[in-house]
Amino acid sequence: MELGIGMFGDLHIGKDGKIQPAQQRLHELLEEIKLMDETGLDFFGIGEHHRPDYAVSVPEIILSAAASVTKKIKLGSAVSVLSSTDPVHLYQSFASLDLISNGRAELMAGRGSFIESYPLYGYNLEDYDELFEEKLGLLVKINNENPITWKGKFRAALNDQPILPRAVNNHLNIWVAVGGTPESVVRAAKYGLPVMFAIIGGNPAHFKPLFDYYRDAYQHMGHDMNKFKVGVHMHSFFGDDGQQTADEYYPIYSSQMNRIGRSRGWPAYQRNQYDAGRSSSGHLIIGDVNEAVDKILHIHELFGLTRFSAHMDVGGPSHASLMKSIELFGSKIAPKVREALKS
């Protein structure tokens, strides 16, 4: 199982409502990715957002900068909002990143958890499902063929058109991020693409039927099960003392849940929700090294994972605390998980 970190580039927001400058956060982010590489983590992903509380709108730019300060870690998006971008341009951007990083690039396609990119780039939300279906098919075709001939509804047709540059070995690693619908997993299985499930609420065990459905669909479509990959993305944060870490992180985490919740009509986030999430049957991996190891191993056993992604910057915790959390994950948690999986 690969172990890595996903981030959205959350900006720290002070009690006075002042938002951290994006420039500062981007420089911090590069230091954090460099540390992930140095501690031996397998991958890093950064999400695309177009909001004032996030620093990253173009993941491939940040990842290209990270490629110059890292050596081994895989560098990907988490996610790229495929529905509101051009698959040709997206492939070219990540193929370029793949060349710069010597084959370490990954692209995670998704529809995104926010909708700002649709009006920003001139797309209609009424086409939400059709956009993703068409563009994912085009992206996969570009990855598999060159030159390409294609015709669809939402962009100009392509007639024997070369798409350049090509990724290393003429293949770009593409994942699909899903929130939990059968239609999403069937779509990914049709193309033989690995899936990353976002488990950001409730009891993870409730996702088990969907994991099984994806595995069955992947096999039913005739794909090689030796190439089967599936991962989870879960809110995580680590410290030396589990309870102290949870107590210190709660105000930051709950503030972010409430900022998002107000725009979606959610009730105010409560401490009992947080504590339930940290329990053995919850969706949060927030605590000390041993708590994290036990829960990651439990999730692995539950789903048969090939990848675990710790989403570590929810709410914009301080750079110092993120560096501490990354250090613990890479130098203590990951080795213990790997050792346990060998036995």
pLDDT at 212: 96
Per-residue pLDDT reduced to its tens digit, 304-336? 999 999 999 999 999 999 999 999 999 999 999
Instruction: Compute CA distances 80 → 64, 215, 305, whole Å.
Output: 15, 24, 22
State how many domains the chain has: 1
Nearest to 48 by CA among 113, 125, 3: 113
Q: Give the span between the Cα atoms of 139 and 120, in whole angstroms.
A: 21
Q: pTM (2 decimals)? A: 0.97
As a whole number, mean pLDDT of residues 89-93 equals 98
pLDDT at 46: 98
- pLDDT band per the 50, 70, 90 thresholds, residue 40: very high
pLDDT at 181: 85
As a whole number, mean pLDDT of residues 110-123 equals 92
- Amino acid symbol at 136: L
Nearest to 245 by CA among 321, 314, 311: 321
pLDDT at 179: 81
As a whole number, mean pLDDT of residues 271-293 equals 97
Length, in residues, of the chain: 343
Please name the residues in contact with 27: beta carbons below 8 A apart, sequence gap of 6 or more. none
pLDDT at 3: 98
Residue 297 has pLDDT above 90, yes or no: yes
CATH number at residue 214: 3.20.20.30
Q: Give the span between the Cα atoms of 155 and 13, in whole angstroms.
A: 39
H-state helical runs in the chain: 22-38, 59-67, 87-100, 117-120, 128-144, 182-191, 208-220, 242-264, 271-278, 289-303, 319-328, 334-342
pLDDT at 301: 97
H-state helical runs in 39-165: 59-67, 87-100, 117-120, 128-144
As a whole number, mean pLDDT of residues 130-150 equals 98
pLDDT at 112: 81
pLDDT at 87: 98
As a whole number, mean pLDDT of residues 97-122 equals 95
Residue 113 has pLDDT above 90, yes or no: no
Mean predicted lDDT score pLDDT of the chain: 97
Whether 127 and 182 have beta carbons less than 8 Å apart is answered as no
CA angle, 33 as apex, 135 and 260 as ends, to 5°?
60
Whether 86 and 155 have beta carbons less than 8 Å apart is answered as yes
Which secondary-structure segment (H or E) carries 238?
strand 230-238
As a whole number, mean pLDDT of residues 173-190 equals 93
Please name the residues in contact with 189: beta carbons below 8 A apart, sequence gap of 6 or more. 214, 217, 218, 220, 221, 223
Residue-number span of the structural domain to which 182 is assigned: 2-342
Tell me the helices (H) and strands (E) count for the chain, helix number first. Answer: 12, 12
Q: Give the span between the Cα atoms of 91 and 75, in whole angstroms.
A: 15
Tokens 């996969």 belong to 140
Per-residue pLDDT reduced to its tens digit, 204-260? 999 999 999 999 999 999 999 999 999 999 999 999 999 999 999 999 999 999 999
Give the three-state DSSP class for 177.
strand
Residue 294 has pLDDT above 90, yes or no: yes
Q: What is the DSSP letter of 20?
A: P
Query: Please, is 154 exposed, middle or buried when counting C-beta atoms within 10 Å of its C-beta (0-12, 13-18, 19+)?
Result: middle
As a whole number, mean pLDDT of residues 284-288 equals 98
As a whole number, mean pLDDT of residues 108-112 equals 93
Percent of all residues in the chain with a pLDDT value above 90, rounded to a whole number: 97
- pLDDT band per the 50, 70, 90 thresholds, residue 197: very high
Percent of all residues in the chain with a pLDDT value above 70, rounded to a whole number: 100
Please name the residues in contact with 174: beta carbons below 8 A apart, sequence gap of 6 or more. 106, 107, 108, 109, 139, 140, 143, 193
pLDDT at 263: 86
Per-residue pLDDT reduced to its tens digit, 141-151? 999 999 999 99
Nearest to 78 by CA among 145, 8, 25: 8
Half-sphere exposure of 162 (CA within 13 A, CB side): 4
